[in-house]
Amino acid sequence: MSDTSTLSTASGTSSAPAKAPSAEDRATQKRNNLVIMLLLVSAFVVILNETIMSVALPHLMADLNITANSAQWLTTGFMLTMAVVIPITGLLLQRFNTRPMFIAAMSLFSLGTLIAAMAPGFEVLLAGRIVQATGTAIMMPLLMTTALTLVPAARRGQTMGNISIVISVAPAIGPTISGLILSVLDWRWMFIIVLPIALAALVLGTFRVRNVSTPTHVKFDVLSVILSAFGFGGLIYGLSNLATTPITSWQGWAPIAVGVVALVLFVMRQVALQRTDRALLDLRTFKTPTFAISIVMLAISMMALFGTLIILPIYMQEVLGLSTLTTGLILLPGGLLSGLLAPFVGRIFDRSGPTALLVAGAIIVSGDFWAMTQLNETTPIGFVLLAHIVLSIGLSLLFTPLFTSSLGSLKPSLYSHGSAIVGTIQQLAGAAGTAVFITVMTSRQASLVAQGSSEVAGTASGIQQAFLYGAIISLFAIPAAFFIRKPADTGAALPMGH
C-alpha cells in the first residue's frame, strides 16, 4: 500500500520527502479497497438476517401451525449456531486463506437462504437458519481480520466506522425490512429477496477477493472445540430460555450452569495450549489493557442495543397498540442515522482518538436509558422516536472507537483471535441483553397482573423496570470510557497477497 511504501522509502532518513504513490501502489490500494467493500456488503447482508425474523414470528406461527416457543428457535437457533462457530474462526482464519474462507462463508449463507425460502415446514426452515448462521459466523471475523491486515493504523477508524454500520445498523433495520415485506408479501420473500444479493456477492467475491494472509498449520484441538460448544452454546441457550420461561425455571439456569462450567474448563485449556501457540482462542489478547476494557464496554453496548431492539417493539405494539409496519418505520430513522454517522465518527477517531467519542457516547446512552424509564401507556410516539434516535447516536459514538481500539491494540498475530473474541462477545452480550430485559419485564408484568392490574399497565410497568436495569448497567460504561486510548500501530498494513 502507499503508506507502507512511503515508510520504507523514508526509513533511515527522516528528512527525505515522501514519494508520490507509484502506479503499482495505487493499483494495490484500489484492489484492497475493493476487497474490503465486497466483504462489507456481504457482511451486511448476512448480519441483517440475525434480526429479520423477530417481527415475522406471529406470521410463521399461523402459517406453520407452531407454538411461540418453537417459533423462537428460528432466532435462538441462529444465535446458538453463531456462538458455537465464531470461537472456531480464529483457528480457521489461521489455517486457511482469505478467498476460500469468503467462498465458504457466502456459499453456506446462500445455501441456508435457499433452504429457508423453499422450506415446506418448520424443521426445514430451522435447518436453513442454522446453515445461514454458519456462514454468518465466519464472515464477521473474516471482515475484521482482513481490514486490520490491509488498512494502516492511521486510517483504521474510518474503515471500522464502515464495519460498525454492518454490526449496528444491519440488526437495527432487520425488523423494519421484515415488517415492510410482511405487509405486502409472504414470509418466504424475506429469503427470496436476499438470495440473489447473496449469490451476486458470492460470484463477484469469487473472482475479485484475493488472499491477504499467510496460512499456518495450526493443530486442531478437538477438546477445545467441544468445551467451546458447550460453554458458549450453553450460555446462549440458557439466556435465550430465560427470556421465554419463568425466572425460576430450570430450563434457563441448567444450561447456563453447564455453560459456565464448560467455559471455565475451556479457559484453563486455552491457557495451557497458549504456551505452545496451539490455543483455539488465544486469551493473551486480554493481557492488552485497551482490548480488555474495550471488550467490557462493547458487551455493555451490545446488551443495550439488543435489549432495546427486543423491548421497544413490544412496548409499541402491546402498550401503544401500533402495527408491525408502524413499529418498523419508527425504528428506521435511528438505524439509518447510525449508518450515516459511522464514517464521520471514524474520521474523528483517526484525528483525535477514542476518549472524547467514548465518553460522550456512554453518557448519551446512559441518559437515554434513564429517559426511557418514563415510558408509559400515554407516552407520545414522538418521544419514542426521539429516544430511539438519541440512543442510535450514542451507540454510533461507541461502536467504531471500541472496534478500532480493541483490535488495533493487538499484535498482528492475534488479529484473528481478537476478531473471533469480539464476535463471540457480541452474541453473548446480545443474548444477555435480551434475557435481562425480557425477564425483568415479564416478572414485573406477572406480578402486577396477579395484583389486579390490566395487561397493558403491567406490560408498561415491566418495560419501565427493564429500562431501569438497562440504565443502571449503562452507568458502568462511563468510567471505563476514560481508560481507552488510541492504540499505536502494532503492525503495518500488509500488501495484497495472491
pLDDT of 489 reads: 56
Q: How far apart are CA 162 and CA 168, in angstroms?
A: 10
Q: How far apart are CA 132 and CA 412, in angstroms?
A: 29
Share of the chain above pLDDT 70, in %: 89
Report pLDDT digits (tens) over 123-139: 999 999 999 989 988 88
pLDDT of 374 reads: 92
pLDDT of 213 > 70? The answer is: no
User: What are 50's three cell numbers?
Assistant: 440475525
pLDDT of 436 reads: 81
Q: Closest by alpha carbon to 301, among 234, 378, 361, 342?
A: 361
DSSP assignments along 214-263, one per residue: --------HHHHHHHHHHHHHHHHHHHHHTTS-TT-HHHHHHHHHHHHHH
What pTM, to 2 d.p., does this model score? Answer: 0.77
**210 contacts 99 by C-beta, under 8 angstroms:** yes
The confidence band for 481, taking pLDDT boundaries of 50, 70 and 90, is very high
Mean pLDDT of 352-367: 93
DSSP assignments along 182-220, one per residue: HTTS-TTHHHHTHHHHHHHHHHHHHHH----S-------
**429 contacts 321 by C-beta, under 8 angstroms:** no
The length of the chain, given as a count of residues: 498
Q: Which of 282-296, 397-411, 462-476, 478-492 shows the lowest per-residue confidence on average (mean pLDDT)? A: 478-492
pLDDT of 498 reads: 36
Share of the chain above pLDDT 90, in %: 21
Mean pLDDT of 475-480: 92
Question: Residue 329: which residues within 8 A CB-CB, separation 6 or more?
Answer: 176, 179
Q: How many CB atoms lie within 10 A of CB 409?
A: 23
pLDDT of 348 > 80? The answer is: yes
Residue 214 CA: distances (Å) to CA of 98, 210, 313, 370, 495: 9, 12, 45, 48, 12
pLDDT of 382 reads: 93
pLDDT of 16 > 60? The answer is: no
The full set of domain ranges for the chain reads 21-481
* Dihedral in degrees, nearest 10, Cα atoms 116, 117, 118, 121: 50
The architecture that CATH gives domain 21-481 is Up-down Bundle (1.20)
Mean pLDDT of 63-90: 79
pLDDT of 388 > 80? The answer is: yes
Mean pLDDT of 394-419: 86
Mean pLDDT of 153-161: 76
Q: How far apart are CA 76 and CA 83, in angstroms?
A: 10
More confident position, 443 or 483: 483
Q: Closest by alpha carbon to 305, among 455, 401, 432, 451?
A: 432
Expressed in angstroms, the distance from the first to the final Cα of the chain is 15
pLDDT of 12 reads: 41
pLDDT of 90 > 70? The answer is: yes
Mean pLDDT of 345-364: 91
pLDDT of 420 > 90? The answer is: no
Mean pLDDT of 358-380: 93
